Chain A
Amino acid sequence: MIRFSHVSKTYPNGVAALRDITFHIPKGQFVFLTGHSGAGKSSILSLILAEQKPSAGDVRVSGFPVGKLSVGQIPKLRRKLGIVFQDFRLLEYRTIEENVGFALEVTGARRESIAGRVMRVLTQVGLASKARVYPKELSGGEQQRVAIARALVNDPPIFIADEPTGNLDERATRGIFQLLQQINGGGTVVVMATHNLALVRDTGYRVLELKAGQIVYDSAQEAEAS
Chain B
Amino acid sequence: MILPGPMREALRTFRRTPLLSALSVASIGFSLFTIGLFALVALNFRHSLRTLAERVEVVAFVLRGTPTETVTAASQDVQAFPEVQEVRYVSEEEALARARSELVEFKEAYRDLETNPLPASLEVRLKPEFRDAIHAQLVAERLRAFPFVDEVRFGRDWVQRLDRLRTLAAVVGLVIGLAFAIVAIVIIGVTIRITVLQRATEISIMRLVGATNRYIREPFLLEGAIKGILGGLLAVVMCWLLFTIFRRSAGEVGSGLVFFGTPELGIGLIFGTLIGLLGSLLSVGRHLRHV
Residue on A nearest B17 in the bound complex, by CB: A93
Judge if B206 is at the interface, Cβ distance under 8 Å. yes
Q: What A residues does B213 contact at CB under 8 A?
A: 71, 75
Residue on A nearest B9 in the bound complex, by CB: A105
> Which residues of B from 205 to 250 have beta carbons under 8 Å from A?
205-213, 215
Query: Given known contacts A76-B210, A103-B209, what 19 new A-B pairs fall within 8 Å (CB)?
Result: A71-B213, A75-B211, A75-B212, A77-B210, A78-B207, A78-B209, A79-B210, A83-B208, A83-B209, A89-B204, A91-B202, A102-B205, A102-B206, A105-B5, A106-B210, A106-B211, A106-B215, A107-B209, A108-B215
State the Cβ distance, B11 to closest chain A Cβ, in Å: 14
> Which residues of A from 76 to 104 have beta carbons under 8 Å from B?
76-79, 81, 83, 89, 91, 93, 102-103
The residue in B204, B206, B207, B210 that gathers the most chain A C-beta atoms within 10 A of its C-beta is B210
Judge if B72 is at the interface, Cβ distance under 8 Å. no
Q: How large is the interface on A (under 10, 10 to 19, 20 to 34, 35 or more residues)?
A: 20 to 34
Residue on B nearest A107 in the bound complex, by CB: B210
What is the CA–CA distance of A83 and B205 in the complex, to the nearest angstrom? Answer: 10
State the Cβ distance, B205 to closest chain A Cβ, in Å: 5
Could you write out 18 A-B pairs with CB less than 8 Å apart? Answer: A71-B213, A75-B210, A75-B211, A83-B208, A89-B201, A89-B204, A89-B208, A91-B201, A91-B205, A93-B16, A102-B209, A103-B209, A103-B210, A105-B5, A106-B206, A106-B210, A106-B211, A106-B215
Task: Specify the main secondary structure of chain B where it touches its partner.
Answer: helix
State the Cβ distance, B260 to closest chain A Cβ, in Å: 40
Count B-side interface residues using an 8 Å CB cutoff: 15
Q: What A residues does B207 contact at CB under 8 A?
A: 75, 78
A89–B205 CB distance below 8 A: yes
What is the CA–CA distance of A108 and B201 in the complex, to the nearest angstrom? Answer: 21
Judge if A44 is at the interface, Cβ distance under 8 Å. no
Q: What B residues does A150 contact at CB under 8 A?
A: 209
Residue on A nearest B215 in the bound complex, by CB: A106
Closest 3 A-B residue pairs measured CB to CB? A106-B211, A79-B210, A78-B210
B16–A106 CB distance below 8 A: no
State the Cβ distance, A158 to closest chain B Cβ, in Å: 12
What is the CA–CA distance of A76 and B215 in the complex, to the nearest angstrom? Answer: 13
B205–A49 CB distance below 8 A: no
